[in-house]
Amino acid sequence: MGTGDGSQKPPEPANPPTAEQKARSAKPAENKAPEKPASTGKPSVFKMPKAKDLERKKVAAKSKTTIKLTPARDVRQPSPDRKRQRWNPRDSSSDDTSGRPARRSSSSSSSSESDGQAEGLIPSSPQWIKHEYGATNIEPKKWGSRPRALILFSGRSRDGDLASFLNRKGWVVVVVDLLAEHPADLRNDKIYCKIIDDIRDKHYDVLGVATPCETFSPLRESPPGPRPLRSLRHPAGLLSSEHKLTKAELEQVQHANTLCRRSQESIENQIEWGGAMWWENPDHGEQKVDLWKTQYAKAVVKIRGVNVCAFDQCRFGGETTKPTKFANYKLDFSELDGLRCNHEVKEFTKEDGTKYKAKHESLVQRWRTNEQGQRERASKALGEYPAKLNAAISAAMANVDTQRARKFRELHSDPLP
Ligand SMILES: [Zn+2]
């Protein structure tokens, strides 16, 4: 995910567009190339280590198992070997599955820790099944009494993402994103209406929403980057003619606003029946525009029972500080709240050779070559949550106080020693 931003975004006109951006703008809903690039060989080898792990598990634990993984088995037989990967705080999206042998945890005998949070190991992404909209980790006819999460703007599927953690906990996860394995566009009215219907019909214990935030980005204030599209005074966009946005820029803001409005409506419908939700977006502080300054977010935040928690993603292994806010309802995010950057100041070197001191390397205007060999803004990688943050979010979600989740916890709680 994103869960994160970047997923539903229209191209940034003032940038030299990457191949990915071009492809995305041309055919947003059908563009599947970027998230599982063939060049990395990821799709073909992606599941291999799972099978290997299970083979090892078969020998080690003499448990009856087959190579084909199902999330259901994960629940009944929490397998320490599935927690094969160590935290890689620098890059939660790294694919350790591609080639390197699976590593086993020295402390893997402790099977009581089911989400790897304490052990520092990350779960694999599930095998996605096409859903009526987006993708699900479990066929709907097998959902049964499992607790369920709907994640809007989940980003591309990757090991250690939020869906992987929820999947390992035995949850049903439905993900909706242009970059999901089965892409879905929330701007599509049919898709959107069906989602709203399902939310109203209490399908999901928790709704998580990570609305794309590019049009709010403060990077837009640093020339020669793309121009700002919003301001503190005009959080809904610099729409009047005096601001002289181009047609493409106006469309970009309007598309983003549609997604903000639909995020708000989805959340309000979820709260209305008493379901839990979170809404995530960057926190730019008092002096800069961000989602939290818009009417969409303000309307949600003022609903009784909605809390806001704020923290810095570097405390969860993020590459930069990335101050972040979560509006939340019926979820306990108190463990995240207030965790602010506590890192030492270090010296960094800019691309032009000059040195500067900071707590984290500045990614503004920096470009990198991504896994697919394409040039992209260094800040792009920041759109995805670090795995450690996903562990924390999923832990809060799994503790939600809905009937389904309560029952599930009772049934699947670890037996006392
Ligand atoms: Zn920090």
Full DSSP string of 323-383 = EEEEEEES---TTTTT----PPPEEEE-TTS-EEEESS---TT-EEE-TTS-EEEGGGGGG
- The whole-angstrom separation of Cα 153 and Cα 97 is 24
Å from CA of 413 to ligand 1 middle:
35
Report residue 104 CA to chain centroid gap: 26
Vertex 119 angle, CA 80 and 327, to 5°: 110
Any domain includes 336:
yes
Going from the Cα of 277 to the center of ligand 1, the distance in angstroms, rounded, reads 27
Q: How far is the CA of 348 from the centre of ligand 1 (A)?
A: 14
Assess if residue 114 is contained within a domain: yes
Q: 294 is in which domain, residue-wise?
A: 92-343+386-412
d(CA 349, ligand 1 centre) in Å: 18
Distance 339 CA to ligand 1 centre (A): 10
CA distances from 372 to 10, 331, 375 (A): 20, 37, 9
320 CA from centroid of ligand 1 (Å): 6
CA of 110 to the centre of ligand 1 (A): 31
- Cα–ligand 1 centroid distance for 210 (angstroms): 22
Q: Is residue 75 part of a domain?
A: no
Distance 344 CA to ligand 1 centre (A): 8
Rounded-to-integer distance, Cα 136 and Cα 138, Å: 6
Number of domains in the chain: 1
Asked if residue 139 is part of any domain, the answer here is yes
Q: For position 29, what pLDDT does the model report?
A: 37
In a domain, 332, yes or no: yes
Q: Is 41 contained in some domain?
A: no
Determine the Cα–Cα distance for residues 300 and 303; give it in Å rounded to an integer: 5
pLDDT in tens, the chain (417 residues): 445 444 444 443 444 444 444 444 433 333 333 333 333 333 333 333 344 444 444 444 333 333 333 333 333 333 333 333 333 333 333 333 333 333 333 333 333 334 444 445 889 999 999 999 999 999 999 999 999 999 999 999 999 999 999 999 999 999 999 999 899 999 999 999 999 999 999 999 999 999 999 999 877 766 677 889 999 999 999 999 999 999 999 999 999 999 999 999 999 999 999 999 999 999 999 999 999 999 999 999 999 999 999 999 999 999 889 999 999 999 999 999 999 999 999 998 887 888 999 999 887 666 777 767 777 766 665 578 999 999 999 999 999 999 999 999 999 876 555
3-class secondary-structure state, position 3: coil
In a domain, 175, yes or no: yes
Distance from the Cα of residue 397 to its chain's centroid = 14
Residue 130 C-beta-side C-alpha neighbours within 13 Å: 3
In a domain, 72, yes or no: no
